[in-house]
Amino acid sequence: MREVLNLAGTMTALGASRAAPGVAQAVAEVLGRFVVMDELFAQAHRAIVRATGAEAGTVTSSSSAAMTLCVAAALVGDDLAAIEALPDAGARERRVAVQMPHWVSYGAPVPQAVAAAGAVPVAVGTACLVEGYHLEAAARGGLAAVLHVVSHHTTREGELPLGLVMEIAHAHGVPVIVDMASECDLTGAVALGADAVIWSGHKFLGGPTSGIVAGTRAMVRAVHLQNRGLGRLMKVGKEGIAGVVAALGAWERRDHAGEAAREGRVLARLSDALSGLPGVTLAPLPDWTGNPITRLEMRLERPAPRAWDLAATLVAGEPAVALRDDHAEKGVLHLDPCNATEEEAAMAARLIREAILAPGPGTTWEEQKRARARAAIGWLA
């Protein structure tokens, strides 16, 4: 396995995050014993309620699984026979509204997570503009739920804010599911009145691969009951649940101010090491979804290599250096400090400088897109 210097953040493709203190020990301990799973789920429920202020909570195998199971819960509730029949929802209302700016890929498409439950995803509004009347019209046509996505991948310009989404949906008796897998705010959406809120257990929380659902007692109970149906296909193990409980405890005890100061030192080291490079402009960029994190934005213009070439070269190296390249086609890369030590940042900065000052042969964006597709299908080929 190559060493990875992670300046991309909490990315699933890189293993998401380092385990928080106590998580590995909790996982190891539970792996060596038997438990009554419903009792372990109840322990997680109490930890999630304490952390989020919700009425109830449960754990899933991942946040994407949580999306599917929350939609399933909205479709059939606690009807045990209907749970076993999914994804065939019969004559029930199956439409689930998703704002068009939220039809994104988090590694897989959001609409697919909705459809996997037997629901029909319905696009609301347009790519850069959603108005209240768009959601009103969808609700009048009949909805089983509204799925609202908070993510770096969504188009935030013109999106319908969550408070207004809940006002409209609840006026029509429609539950609201909020997917905010990579967000640090564990209380805001719950306080606004969301029926179910989803987080990743293995990103900022530093737990094992898992998803967390918090919300109303009725909704969370219905989500948990999906383990008798679709949830069995994506079940979470005892290690995932115990790890989430430990991660939530570690989050409560974490020195968040100290962590922010550490990330600031990482950014300063990166900025100092990369300043003055030809064609490179650096600027701090606060997180665009509101997380308490600042990244270093790196804009590349000639004679610097193209952003996508630089990112591809670095991640293919040894050690690999992973940068956040969501906006590479715009000539922009982001350096995220949350998963890097100061020593790792210094090593990564040296490798970035070397790659910028001695670039290899360049590619067009079209060639880069083709290469990414070939790499995906080439695994074990």
In terms of domains, do 136 and 212 share one?
yes
**Closest CA relative to residue 246, chosen from 297, 277, 205, 287:** 205
pLDDT single digits (tens) 312-362: 999 999 999 999 998 999 999 999 999 999 999 999 999 999 999 988 889
**Whole-angstrom distance, CA of residue 116 vs CA of residue 104:** 16
The CATH code of the domain that includes 373 is 3.90.1150.180
**Whole-angstrom distance, CA of residue 214 vs CA of residue 202:** 16
In terms of domains, do 156 and 292 share one?
no
What total number of domains does the chain contain?
A: 2
In terms of domains, do 194 and 291 share one?
no
In terms of domains, do 170 and 190 share one?
yes
Mean pLDDT of the chain: 94
In terms of domains, do 134 and 276 share one?
no
Contact predicate 81/246, CB 8 Å:
no
In terms of domains, do 172 and 195 share one?
yes
In terms of domains, do 302 and 213 share one?
no
Confidence of residue 31 (pLDDT cuts 50, 70, 90): very high
Q: Of the residues 253, 282, 308, which one is the last residue of a structural domain?
A: 253
Q: How many CB atoms lie within 10 A of CB 288?
A: 11
In terms of domains, do 229 and 249 share one?
yes
Write the DSSP string, 182-228: T---SSHHHHHT-SEEEEESSSTT--SS-EEEEE-HHHHHHHHHGGG
Confidence of residue 246 (pLDDT cuts 50, 70, 90): very high
Contact predicate 100/124, CB 8 Å:
yes
**Whole-angstrom distance, CA of residue 60 vs CA of residue 317:** 35
**347: its two tokens:** 């090593």
- 168-194 average pLDDT score: 96
- 256-263 average pLDDT score: 93
In terms of domains, do 91 and 34 share one?
yes
The CATH code of the domain that includes 218 is 3.40.640.10
Q: Of the residues 229, 253, 277, which one is the last residue of a structural domain?
A: 253
* Cis ω for the linkage preceding 121 (within 30 of 0): no
pLDDT score for 16:
87
The whole domain housing 220 covers 21-253
In terms of domains, do 40 and 156 share one?
yes
- 248-270 average pLDDT score: 94
pLDDT single digits (tens) 272-303: 999 999 999 999 999 988 889 999 999 999 89
Contacts with 1 (C-beta within 8 Å, 6 or more apart), sequence order:
none
In terms of domains, do 151 and 88 share one?
yes
In terms of domains, do 273 and 158 share one?
no
Given a cut of 90, whether residue 108 has pLDDT beyond it is: yes
Q: What percent of the chain has pLDDT over 70?
A: 100
